Amino acid sequence: MSEEIHFSHPVIVKRLRRAQGHLAAVLAMFDAHRPCVDLAQQLHAVESAISSAKRELIHDHIEHCITDTAEAGGSSLSELKQLAKYL
C-alpha cells in the first residue's frame, strides 16, 4: 500500500471541507430552532457529500493502488476485502 498522495486526494479534501462547513451551518440551524424537516434535509445533504467523498476515495484506491499491485504480481485480494466493508 502506497503512502503517496493520490491525484484524487486534494479533490476529496476540498469536498470534505465543504461538507464540514455545511455541517457547521446545520449546527447553527439547530441553535436557531429551525424546523426538523429543514434540519433533516440539510443533514441528508451533508451525509450524501461525505458518502460521495468516501466512494471516490475507495474507487480511486481500487483503480490505482489495488490494480497496480495486482499488475505487479502482488496479491490485493485481502485489501479489496477490507475496502468492501466500507462500500
| Per-residue model confidence (pLDDT) at position 74 | 64
The whole-angstrom separation of Cα 28 and Cα 14 is 21
pLDDT digits (tens, 9 = 90+) for 57-81: 988 888 877 776 666 666 677 788 8
pTM: 0.77
Ordered structural domains, the chain, with CATH: 9-84 (1.20.58.1000)
Kindly write down the DSSP assignment for every residue of 12-27, as one continuous string: HHHHHHHHHHHHHHHH
Distance of CA 19 to the CA centre of its chain: 10
| Per-residue model confidence (pLDDT) at position 61 | 84
The whole-angstrom separation of Cα 4 and Cα 31 is 41
